[in-house]
Amino acid sequence: MSTVEREKIVVTICGHQFVWERPVRRVCRDILRDIYAVHSQFPSVAANSRAQMLRAQFVRDGEPDKAAEVVVPEIDPIDGLGLPNAALDFLYKWNPAIKVRSYEIDDANETEIAAAFGEVTQFLMRPFVAVQAVRTETQRLESTS
């Protein structure tokens, strides 16, 4: 029987490094649902994140003019205060090593929490985004033939 080596990332919060291993796709889908649930609680943060990602995509695609046209909405202060705690709850739920150190991590600043939550989100979404990109390219090629 062979074992599959899973991709990993390391996130840092309050000076502590935590390994996050990509789970099997079934579990990953459940985790992504929780990520979307966190974002849906804070609409201004979700809108800001979408705009930032769109802007970054235009820059990666070599379209700086389009990137400059993307309007990035302000984050509502109440959303900005609520998101870090919801993000920590998410991190505690899905990574036991982080939960064990919650007594220290609870003192993390908002920037650290957002960075860790963002890194985990991008890491977990990568396989799904890659599959969608292949589907889109395949559809584009089929429609031109």
Q: Give the integer Cα–Cα distance in Å for 39 and 97.
A: 23
Structure tokens that stand for 109 in this block: 């600043």
pLDDT tens for 60-89 read 889 889 889 989 889 888 888 899 999 999
The model's pTM: 0.74
What is residue 2's predicted lDDT score, i.e. its pLDDT? 46
The CA–CA distances, whole Å, from 49 to 53, 74, 93 equal 6, 10, 22
- Break the chain into its structural domains and give their ranges: 24-102
pLDDT score of 51 more than 90? no
Question: What are the strands, taking DSSP E only, across the chain?
Answer: 8-13, 16-21
Residue 135 has pLDDT above 80, yes or no: no
Q: What is the pLDDT of residue 143?
A: 65
Segment 50-58 shows an average pLDDT of: 85
The confidence score (pLDDT) of residue 139 equals 57
**Six-digit token string for 58:** 């235009």
The DSSP H or E segment spanning 72 is none
Task: Say whether pLDDT at 142 is over 80.
Answer: no
